A and B are shown apart, each in its own frame.
Chain A
Amino acid sequence: MSIYIENLTFAYGKNLVLNNINLAVETGESIGIIGMSGSGKSTLMKLLAGLYSAQRGIIEVHGACTPKDIRKNVAMVMQNAMLFPASIRENITCGHPMSDEKIWQACEAAQLTGWISLLPDKLDTFVGERGGKVSGGQAQRIAIARAIAKDAPVVLLDEATSALDDDTCNAVLSALKRLTKGKTVVSVSHRPEALTGCSRILRLEGGRLYNV
């Protein structure tokens, strides 16, 4: 079992967002979660990513139970690619030692190679404050390359293509396909059409998960 959630409850103060959630995802399975804005999808993703601690219940991701250990097993691509004010290389490696070969492989899978080769400073190009010097699609693909380079067994996609136009969306979707190959994937979106390719789709409503 790659992801196992049992009786998970989470609230922001008195506002109960997730109520007694149970979920089991097999290794290599790809599931989608839909729900209205504010239904708690992103909160569930943050809990699965180890960014929040469960207030009640159990979360187990690839055998890890504590948020610190869970974070090691998870790679996440969010709606707005959050880039560091650093070079493309540093945004992919996150400061960890990594060979150029591995970085270029991640760029290739994220369909960034063509664009990066045209840049004068190649991988050492500065992306600007909050990615201000690159387009939304390029920023998102850098975030995907970062997730690929981490090579985590579980991939979380939180509205990864929602902020992109159709052309950019197709390029990013193709990059995501390579990122998620052979991994356990949990995708979240408020648009059901964005979850094609998922083996199971669940709906989050009123703090509970339902099969669609």
Chain B
Amino acid sequence: MKMNGFADTLITVFPVIRLFDAEALILSKYNTTLEEWERASLLEKRRRAKLMSLSALLSCIPLLLLFLVGGIQIIQGFTTIGTLYVFINLSGNVSGVMMNMPGRIAVFRRFLANMKRIEPFINIKDGGQQSEHIY
């Protein structure tokens, strides 16, 4: 994004670069911006990798807890291995939804942001009646 901005600036100031012989200055600015962008993008990738590792670790915790509690119950004779096996398999239906919840919330928020962006251009207060008038 930052590099796109720089390319845009380059096109805008092109006559001034030619007129004032500023090629060396703009090249050094370009290199500085490129290095900054590279550093920022590396930092972002590193942070994303760390968060993904943490997320993978955290997503294992419910299953491990289930094994722990289920294992204790089997040892104590309250339940059988078969029941635990079936329970763990079925529990995916619940835990899967819960684990995907942050992603679903993010999608919903993105949808809301997009709606806000197009809100000035549409009229939803009259239940779409205005659209009928237009067409």
Footprint of B on A, CB under 8 Å? 46, 49-51, 71, 74-76, 78, 82-86, 90, 94-96, 129-130, 146, 150
Contacts and interface: CB of A to CB of B under 8 A. Distances in A.
Contacts of B20: 94, 146, 150
Query: In the complex, which range does the number of interface residues on chain B fall in?
Result: 10 to 19
A94 B25 contact: yes
Contacts of A96: 21
Interface of B: 5-6, 9, 12-13, 15-16, 18-22, 24-26, 28-29, 33
B25 A95 contact: yes
A94 B16 CA distance: 9
A58 B24 CA distance: 31
9 contacts: A75-B19, A82-B12, A82-B15, A84-B13, A85-B6, A94-B20, A95-B22, A95-B24, A150-B20
Nearest to B33: A85
B22 A84 contact: yes
If over half of A's interface residues share one DSSP class (helix, strand or loop), that class is named, otherwise mixed; here it is loop
B12 A130 contact: yes
Contacts of B26: 84, 95
A98 to B, nearest CB: 12
B18 A71 contact: yes
B18 A90 contact: no
Q: Please name the 8 residue pairs, one residue from A and one from B, whose CB atoms are nearest each other, closest first.
A: A95-B25, A94-B22, A94-B20, A82-B13, A82-B16, A95-B24, A51-B15, A85-B9
A130 B25 contact: no
Nearest to A68: B18
Nearest to A70: B19
